[in-house]
Amino acid sequence: MKKRVRQGPIRDVMWPEASYQSLDPGIRFAVRVLHAAGIETCQSCQGGKGHSYDEPTVEMIATGDDAYGFGALAALRGYGLPVAAVAIIWPVRNGLPYEKNWRITFSATMEDRADDKPMFVYGYRAQ
């Protein structure tokens, strides 16, 4: 018997709906869009005073495919989100770079869309 591999958005597998409520409202929709596109995030923050980043930011662990971040950019731009920059970041530990991350920053927060849910159905994206 052939094992069936689950196809579908990462949000159904890893992130129950209640988990999104713990994210900063200004970055929540961007994280939802990435998860719906099957892109895993490792940290996010809406930025500003008292936050970890100065501007709204989402990070993803870079895979062996360096185009991963551009797929994320395409998913975010498909929903008209205000992407300001895409970069690969190499944190340094003990004087050496390790575990590169993709970092996407936004020019504005998106509180007004915090509870919107992106729709991806069989490769079709409805807005």
Q: Phi first, then psi: what are they for 85, rounded to 5°?
A: -160, 150
Stated pTM of the model: 0.81
Q: pLDDT of 17-61, one tens digit each? A: 888 999 999 999 999 999 888 888 999 999 999 998 999 999 998
Q: Phi first, then psi: what are they for 63, rounded to 5°?
A: -95, -175
In the chain, where the domains are located: 12-111
